[in-house]
Structure 1
Amino acid sequence: MRIGELSRRTGVSERALRYYEEQGLLQPRRLPSGYREYRELDIAAVQRIRVLLDAGLNTAQIVEVLPCMVTDDGRLLPSCPELVDELVKQRDRIGAAIAELETTRSNLTRIIDNERR
């Protein structure tokens, strides 16, 4: 299938699909005309990429973890034990960032409230 059809079937823009290819996340076959040709398996790969992006991973991280991810009954699961430790570290980094932002928001709220008195 060509990029337009993959875009329609996944809901991901052609631009994003080209970016995924640039980042090494997708490897479509190139036809002699230069057109990209995607396989049915690429639909699932794009869906996995989107889930991982939504989970806060960047494309460089996804390149590393994607080979260790499987889909089971519609759920994305790590298949490499060492990957779980890395995902826990990522989750903890996100939690720390959230805590820092909540503190910053509280400090700003306090400043705003003090001004209103």
Structure 2
Amino acid sequence: MRIGELSERTGVSRRMLRYYEEQGLIASHRCANGYRDYPEPCVDRVQQVRGLLDAGLSTQTIRRILPCLGPPGRIDIPNPTPETIALLELECARMSQRIDRLTRNRDAMTAYLADVRKAAPAEPAA
């Protein structure tokens, strides 16, 4: 499939798909006319990459675990190296830190919103 169709099917812009390819996260074949041609499994791969990026993993980390990605929603690491385990532990710790920051920010915003609502003048009855 061409890049436009892959973009449409995954909701990922053409620009980002070219970036994923540049980073070694997906691959295409070039047609005689120079157009990119992506195989069908690229749809699932792009969705996996997008999910991992949304979870906060870097493209470098994703590239390292790509060989371990099975069908969507599954990671198969039959013989993980100590380096792979350390990398995954580090990513889990980073995610926990982001979650803690987001929780603190949400709680602060909720408290601020409650104060704003208390201070706001009451709406007149209609």
TM-score (norm 1): 0.74
5+ residue gaps, structure 1 = 107-117
What percent identity do the matched residue pairs reach?
A: 47
Over residues 58-116 of structure 1, what are the superposed CA-to-partner deviations in whole Å (9 max), with x where a residue is unaligned?
11111101110122xxx5122005356532321112323555784xx98xxxxxxxxxx
C-alpha RMSD of matched pairs (Å):
2.4
> Which amino acid is 1:30 matched to?
R
Larger radius of gyration: 2
- The runs of at least 4 aligned residues of structure 1 exceeding 4 Å deviation read 97-102
Task: Structure 2 unaligned segments of length 5 or more: list them.
Answer: 109-126
59 and 38 in structure 1: CA distance in 2 versus 1, 3 angstrom threshold: same
Aligned counterpart, 1:77 = 74
Counterpart CA distance in 2 for 1:11 and 1:100 is 28
Which residue is equivalent to 1:92? Answer: 93
For the residue of structure 2 that corresponds to 1:77, the secondary structure is coil
- For 1:52 and 1:68, how far apart are their aligned partners in 2? 13
Per residue, is there more strand in 1 or in 2? 1
Aligned residues: 104
Aligned to 1:47: 47
